[in-house]
Amino acid sequence: MRPVPEHDPKSWLLKALRETANALESLLWGIDEELVDGRPDEDEWSSAELMRHMAEMERCYVDRLERMVTLDEPHIRAFDADSLEDARRPRRPDAFDALEEFAELRRQAVYLLWSLDKSDWHRKGIHPYLGPLTIMQVAREMNEHDLAHLWQMRRLADHFAAASV
């Protein structure tokens, strides 16, 4: 019997974070270009709005990680979907430009995380509401955010694939 490899949360998170941009790209390219700005329902996001949101959130995550890596227990700003620019407002970049921006920012985040040694993953930033957060916690939050929106993009892709049949 082969031994079970030791679970390495850092490696797992890096792999998951690295794969998100490719998964989003695959889903987005599966939607007809004229449907990328379409919403399946009035209260749901379009693919373009979703990609703009992902790029905006990634800018916030990269900023947070860079502060936590370079400063000792920095104060990090709170952000959530409501505190960011409204992704639904029609504006540029388009979905594909936003995807490209997200992918570049995600590469920055993954390279930064990859460069850290084991003790660096425990570096902290001070969140105004949550208190101390470690880099590991931020990376997990990024992954959870990715999973929620990958599911949302999958639903959009499935909806518009079914609509075009």
Domains in the chain (CATH in brackets) are 9-163 (1.20.120.450)
* DSSP reduced 3-state for 97: helix
Tell me the one-letter amino acid at 50. L
Does 89 have pLDDT greater than 60?
no
Instruction: Indicate the helix (H) or strand (E) that contains 124.
Output: strand 124-127
Instruction: Indicate the helix (H) or strand (E) that contains 102.
Output: helix 95-115
**What integer pLDDT is reported at residue 9 of this predicted model?**
81
**What integer pLDDT is reported at residue 3 of this predicted model?**
61
- Token pair for residue 153? 């993009």
How far is the C-alpha of 92 from the C-alpha of 72, rounded, in Å?
Answer: 36
Does 165 have pLDDT greater than 60?
no
Does 32 have pLDDT greater than 90?
no
Does 10 have pLDDT greater than 80?
yes
Of residues 33 and 132, more confidently modeled: 132
